[in-house]
Amino acid sequence: MKKIIVLMIGVVLLCGWGVNASVAGNSVQYETVTLTTNDTLWDIASKRVGKNEDIREYIYNVQQFNHITNPGQLEPGMIIKLPIK
C-alpha cells in the first residue's frame, strides 16, 4: 500500500514538473518601445523587419501581442512590446 501511495505521489510530481517545463519553454521574449509623437506601427515595424519578411504579418502580430484594436489611437508615451524573433 505504501508503495502505491509513493508511486502516485511521484507521478503527480512528475506531471506537475512537465507542465511547468512546457509553460516556461513557450514564453515569448520581447523588447519594449515607448512611442513618441507620430509613431506608427508601420514605422516601428519597418526598422525591425527584414527584406524577406512580411511587414503586415509583423504588424498584425504586434497588434495581437499588445491587444491593440485600433492602431490609429496610439499615443505618445504608450509602451508596447515587440516580440523578438
Residue 80's domain spans which residues?
Answer: 28-85
Domain count, the chain: 1
Own/partner contacts of 65-70, CB < 8 Å, gap of 24 or more, are: 65/28, 65/30, 68/41
pTM for this model (two decimals):
0.64
The answer as to whether 16 is a domain residue is: no
CATH number, domain of 80, equals 3.10.350.10
66-to-50, 78, 80 alpha-carbon distances in Å: 21, 11, 6
Q: CA torsion 62→67→72→78, rounded to 10°?
A: -80
Tens-level pLDDT at each residue, the chain (85 residues):
776 665 567 566 566 655 554 455 567 799 999 999 999 999 999 999 999 999 999 999 999 999 999 998 999 999 999 988 7
